[in-house]
Structure 1
Amino acid sequence: MEKRRTAIVTGGASGLGLAVVNRFIEKGYAVTIVDVAEEKGSQIVHQLREQGAEAHFITGNVTDQEQARDMAKRAAEAMGSIHILVNAAGIIRRTPATEVKDTELMAVLQVNLHGSVFMCQAVQPYMEQAGEGAIVNFSSMLAHYGSENLLSYAASKGGIVQVTKSLAVSWAKYGIRVNAVSPGYIETPLSSGATQNPKFRERILSRTPQGRYGKPEEVAAVIDFLTSSEASFVTGVVLPIDGGLLAGDPMLYPPATPTA
């Protein structure tokens, strides 16, 4: 009989986090959503339970180290164990680099970077006790190339790359694997303002070899693989999910002239 799997997904009440939650629920996992959106998260859990799923919701602030430990404890008590952590909680701010204030920089770092570290620390004892665990952190394209007006966000996501590699090395001896994903341009309700802008759409898709935006379900599928036994020898990886964007620009050179 296959072992019952349990997962925590931060930021699981919307966007890519919710896509991951739905993917895990489809596989029969017990899932705990951690999010600041209490009303929305509670509604999602209620709906999932009505469908027969085992789902839990915890509202809390991942930027508080003690709260992170408490949330992991409550999740472990509710589900009986913690096999998987997906750190999808994140925020973004767009500000010219010379105008970034310390308050903005710290706010973005605290959610995206500190919050991920604190949640990793919080689940580690439960995974060590079980002798296994799989963590997936959210990095970004902005960890791999620069972009104007996104200094704080880029700093936080670049940090995630090194946190992921460091924890992968540190915790391999406990059977804990730590990987990260770097989603490209994915169509979600929150990103629609940018992705549906005609000029932005033309610019991004012209640079994307597959010529389209990604879907939340495609990101969730990759995370599902990384947290599964099929990826048992994969750790310390930062995997782009970007339709080939980081591979190169298809418009960099003109098409070759056919030869007779």
Structure 2
Amino acid sequence: MEKRRTAIVTGGASGLGLAITNRFVEKGYAVAIVDIAEEKGRELVHQLREKAADIHFIAGNVADQEQARDIAQKAAEALGGIDILVNAAGIIRRTPAAEVRDAELMAVLQVNLNGSVFMCQAVHPYMKQANEGSIVNFSSMLAHYGSENLLSYAASKGGIVQVTKSLAVSWAKYGIRVNAVSPGYIETPLSSGATQNPKFRERILSRTPQGRYGKPEEVAAVVDFLASPEASFVTGVILPIDGGLLAGDPMLYPPATPIA
């Protein structure tokens, strides 16, 4: 009998993290959802247990290194091991670059960059012992080109690129693969205020070869592939999910603020 796969999804109670949680549940994975939104997370688990019994919620702040270790320990105990980690937790702040202050910069870096590093470190002993594991981090289009008013976010997502490559090289000998995705413009409830704006929509879609926004389920499918044995010879990759936006002429990259 094939071993049931186990996964931690940080930020798994909403947005793209929720889409990944749903994908994993549909595939029959045992899943630990990690989120600071405790009420939302527990309600989600209650709903999903109608589809799958082996799903758990762990409240915690990934930006705290000790909490990250505690999250991994609880997940390993609940799931019986950790095959997959998806670092989907993140925050965004929009401020003109000259006005970014220490508190904002540190808050965004702490969650998006440090939190991903801390969770990678936290699952490492379990994956190393098993001599296998797959980690998928979340970067962004802003790791590949500049945009106004998102300095803190861009710095955090650019850092994810190098963290992913460094860990892929460092941990390959332990059977651990580390990859990242860079989502483009994805339609989610959180992004709808921008994506449904007619001027914004026209500007973005005119620069996207596929001529449409992405769907959360499309991001989840790519994450699932990278996490799966089908991608067993793939590590250190930063994979855009953007309808071809980054493949186009750099002079056409929009100055508008990205959603993901």
- TM > 0.5 between the two? yes
The residue number in structure 1 matching 2:255 is none
1:160-193, CA deviations, whole angstroms, 9 ceiling, x for partnerless residues? 0000000000000000000000000000001111
What is the percentage of aligned positions where both structures have the same residue? 87
Extract unaligned runs of 5+ from structure 1: 253-260
CA–CA distance in structure 2, aligned partners of residues 51 and 72 of structure 1: 24
Q: Secondary structure at the match of 1:156?
A: helix
Q: TM-score normalised to the size of structure 2?
A: 0.95
Q: Secondary structure at the match of 2:179?
A: strand
The residue number in structure 1 matching 2:216 is 216
CA–CA distance in structure 2, aligned partners of residues 200 and 108 of structure 1: 25
CA–CA distance in structure 2, aligned partners of residues 34 and 201 of structure 1: 32
**Which letter maps to 1:218?**
E
CA–CA distance in structure 2, aligned partners of residues 21 and 51 of structure 1: 12
The residue number in structure 2 matching 1:137 is 137
* 8 A contact 2:25–2:52 mirrored in 1: no
The residue number in structure 2 matching 1:71 is 71
**Which letter maps to 1:123?**
V
Q: TM-score normalised to the size of structure 1?
A: 0.95
CA–CA distance in structure 1, aligned partners of residues 249 and 162 of structure 2: 26
Shift of the alpha carbon at 1:196?
Answer: 0.8
Extract unaligned runs of 5+ from structure 2: 253-260
For the pair shown, the structure with the greater C-alpha radius of gyration is 1
Work out the number of aligned pairs and report it: 252
Q: Secondary structure at the match of 1:189?
A: coil
Shift of the alpha carbon at 1:249?
Answer: 4.3
Is 1:148 matched with 2:111? no
* 8 A contact 1:105–1:152 mirrored in 2: yes
Shift of the alpha carbon at 1:54?
Answer: 1.2
The residue number in structure 2 matching 1:125 is 125
Shift of the alpha carbon at 1:50?
Answer: 2.1
Shift of the alpha carbon at 1:251?
Answer: 9.8
Runs of 4+ in 1 over 3 A off after TM superposition: 249-252
* 8 A contact 1:165–1:237 mirrored in 2: yes
* 8 A contact 2:6–2:84 mirrored in 1: yes
CA–CA distance in structure 2, aligned partners of residues 98 and 250 of structure 1: 24
CA–CA distance in structure 2, aligned partners of residues 178 and 154 of structure 1: 20
CA–CA distance in structure 2, aligned partners of residues 249 and 35 of structure 1: 38
The residue number in structure 1 matching 2:206 is 206
